[in-house]
Amino acid sequence: MLLHLRRSLVLAVACFVVFGLLYALAGTGVAQALFPSQANGSIGANGSTLIGQNWTSTRWFHGRPDDFGPYAADPKKGISGGDNPLVANGIPGESGATNLGPRSRTLVADTRQLIRWWHQHGVNPTSDLVTTSASGYDPDISPASAYAQIPMVAKSTGVTASTLRRIIAAQVRPAELGFLGSPTVNVLQLNEALARAEPGGR
């Protein structure tokens, strides 16, 4: 028993040093040396391409409705909203889904509200435009969801539909190796491309 205890303590400490500290430090060293941009969060001038943002104006393409309509942040009610990787616009939050079940009345009502919102803006929504993601900050939408938003963005920006179609087409990322997962459009990169294309573009 005492021998077991002594060996257990020794192994626990040795494992903490090797698999807790050294593993993480060596991993971080290799990661920072080989892929510094990825290892630090793929962060560019306007944010991380891996973290969705809340696009408030109709002059931008919108991502998944993690943080708008019924899911918008509301500091008064203490709701942090989606698109919140720790703090967003001063409101603390964390990653996570709504977890509404497939026969939830709340989900029916929320989705109805989102569909109405899209219709008001002249958009025939696809399913990923009316459903929230698993992470709560899905940075991507499907190509069909980007094309669907052309009427809304064209009206707000004055950029012609054909130009928008061209911008989207250039941003479509096919499934990895052609078959892993689904094709996507990164919303931040799409909007950056849109900003560049606008007259006097930033």
* Residues in 145-184 at the binding interface with other proteins, rule: CB under 8 A: 145, 175-182, 184
Rounded CA separation 94/80 (Å): 8
Rounded CA separation 5/145 (Å): 60
CA angle 142, 148, 152 (to 5 degrees): 130
**Closest distance of CB 129 from other proteins, Å:** 9
**Of 55-63, 147-155, 158-166: span binding other proteins (CB under 8 A):** 55-63
Contacting other proteins (CB under 8 A), which of 65, 68, 85, 123? 85
**Closest distance of CB 160 from other proteins, Å:** 20
Interaction between residue 60 and other proteins (CB under 8 A): yes
Comparing CB distances to other proteins, the nearer of 1 and 76 is: 1
Query: Is the four-CA dihedral 24, 27, 33, 36 of positive or negative sign?
Result: negative
**Non-local CB neighbours of 54 within 8 Å, separated by 6+ positions:** 66, 67, 68, 72, 73, 81, 82, 83, 88, 89
**Nearest residue to 191 (alpha-carbon basis) of 182, 200, 202:** 202
Interaction between residue 14 and other proteins (CB under 8 A): yes
**Nearest residue to 128 (alpha-carbon basis) of 61, 50, 81, 29:** 61
Interaction between residue 62 and other proteins (CB under 8 A): no
Contact positions with other proteins (CB under 8 A) in 96-135: 96-112, 115, 125-128, 130-135
**Closest distance of CB 63 from other proteins, Å:** 9
**Closest distance of CB 176 from other proteins, Å:** 4
Contacting other proteins (CB under 8 A), which of 10, 161, 169, 170? 10
**Non-local CB neighbours of 128 within 8 Å, separated by 6+ positions:** 64, 141, 142, 145
For the record, the structure tokens of 201 come out as 């573009």
Place of tokens 């019924």: 70
**Closest distance of CB 13 from other proteins, Å:** 8
**Closest distance of CB 34 from other proteins, Å:** 7
Rounded CA separation 152/144 (Å): 14
Interaction between residue 78 and other proteins (CB under 8 A): no
**Of 90-98, 148-156, 157-165: span binding other proteins (CB under 8 A):** 90-98
Contacting other proteins (CB under 8 A), which of 9, 161, 169, 170? 9
